Amino acid sequence: MRRFILKCPRAAAPVVVAWVFLFSGCATVIAPMTSRVTEGLTSAVLDHNDPETVRQGAPAYLLMIDAMIEGDPDNTGLLIAGAQLYSSYTSGFVSDGERASRLAERGKSYGWRGLCEVEPATCGSWQLPFEEFQHIIDGVQAKHVPALFAAGVSWATWVQVNRADWLAVADKARVEAIMLRVTVLDENYRSGAAYTYLGVLNSIIPAALGGKPEQGRKDFERAIELAQGNDLMTKVLLAKEYARMVFDQELHDRLLREVIEADPNVPGLVLLNTMAQEQARILLAESDDYFAE
């Protein structure tokens, strides 16, 4: 049963949950500036093939978004961008557990505040009994999908970072309610990314302990279908979160080989796909040892 213990990944293979939003959230901040330079910078980051360069530069964006929110604390666009940027940086590049928890908490706070700004009925709903919370979330309208999704992304990242804490894991039902609402309102939003989060959430706990890994597999596969297979990270997550959970080495290794052999140079996804291939190589190298346990 040792392989079913909930624990944070080791530094060599950082958690990647909010992967696709590493800098796509910058568009919310950049758009009002209408600057060709900043728009070009965002595109350059998304199409960069060296994650380490991006990792070293990302903190400057975090400080920038903090300063902008401090100056305009009710700006929904800034809060959404802050939630996504903090969550993405944390999940993609921070391996220290204590630091990751602090950063994820900030991202979650921005996400809640952003949703509260666009949909006042949600304000404070995080503390209500689950049935009341779900009723409120089910009332969120399609025009608020960006804020709803950002709140879900940041909360999912916080749960993932704190997955060794059962109190934190208990929040996954609320995050799932948010992501399910996103799929109802617009399942194609961000090329079906809500399904990727649902896949991770449903694979956190093994079936023997009440988890839903088989549903998680369906969610991952739907995300892959909607993205037309262009983002490689969903396959990595399917291997890492599901195949390892159910101890399916054949599926695990096949998925990782597909990722490694794929062309990562998809416009807007080069950074993501490069990160996916790096992690796929690490996971595949560990495969025999992991499945021999």
Return the sign of the alpha-carbon dihedral for residues 142, 143, 146, 151.
negative
> Is residue 282 a part of any domain in this protein?
yes
Q: How far is CA 97 from CA 84, 111, 135, in A?
A: 19, 21, 33
Judgement on whether residues 90 and 230 belong to the same structural domain of the protein:
no
CA distance 89 to 137: 26
Judgement on whether residues 131 and 204 belong to the same structural domain of the protein:
no
> Is residue 2 a part of any domain in this protein?
no
> Is residue 5 a part of any domain in this protein?
no
Judgement on whether residues 165 and 288 belong to the same structural domain of the protein:
no
Residue bearing tokens 């695990």: 252
Nearest to 29 by CA among 61, 70, 73: 61
CA distance 223 to 289: 29
The pLDDT tens digits of the residues spanning 74-108 come to 999 889 888 988 988 898 889 899 999 999 999 99
Q: How far is CA 277 from CA 9, 69, 255, in A?
A: 17, 34, 11
Show Cβ contacts of residue 154 under 8 Å, excluding neighbours closer than 6 positions. Answer: 18, 83, 84, 86, 87, 104, 107, 108, 110, 111, 112
Average pLDDT, the chain: 85
Per-residue pLDDT averaged across 126-130, rounded? 95
Per-residue pLDDT averaged across 123-152, rounded? 96
Q: Which of 130, 156, 180 is the last residue of a domain?
A: 180
CA distance 181 to 48: 33
| 52 band by pLDDT with thresholds 50, 70 and 90 | confident
Range of the domain at 245: 187-293
pTM: 0.85
Which CATH number belongs to the domain containing residue 46 in this structure?
1.25.40.920
Give yes or no for a contact between 234 and 223, defined as CB atoms under 8 angstroms apart.
Answer: yes
> Is residue 9 a part of any domain in this protein?
no
> Is residue 201 a part of any domain in this protein?
yes
Judgement on whether residues 174 and 192 belong to the same structural domain of the protein:
no
> Is residue 155 a part of any domain in this protein?
yes
CA distance 14 to 37: 31
Judgement on whether residues 157 and 199 belong to the same structural domain of the protein:
no
Can you state the percent helix, strand and coil of the chain, rounding each to 5? Answer: 75, 0, 25
The answer to which of 187-191, 252-256, 278-282 has the lowest mean pLDDT is 187-191
Judgement on whether residues 171 and 81 belong to the same structural domain of the protein:
yes
Q: What are phi and psi of 233, to 5 degrees?
A: -65, -30
Higher-pLDDT residue of 267, 25? 267
Q: Which of 145, 180, 215 is the last residue of a domain?
A: 180
Q: Which of 180, 213, 243 is the last residue of a domain?
A: 180
pLDDT of residue 43: 65
H/E stretch holding 138 reads none
Inform me whether the pLDDT recorded for 126 exceeds 60.
yes
CA distance 270 to 274: 6
Inform me whether the pLDDT recorded for 224 exceeds 90.
yes
Give yes or no for a contact between 284 and 14, defined as CB atoms under 8 angstroms apart.
Answer: no
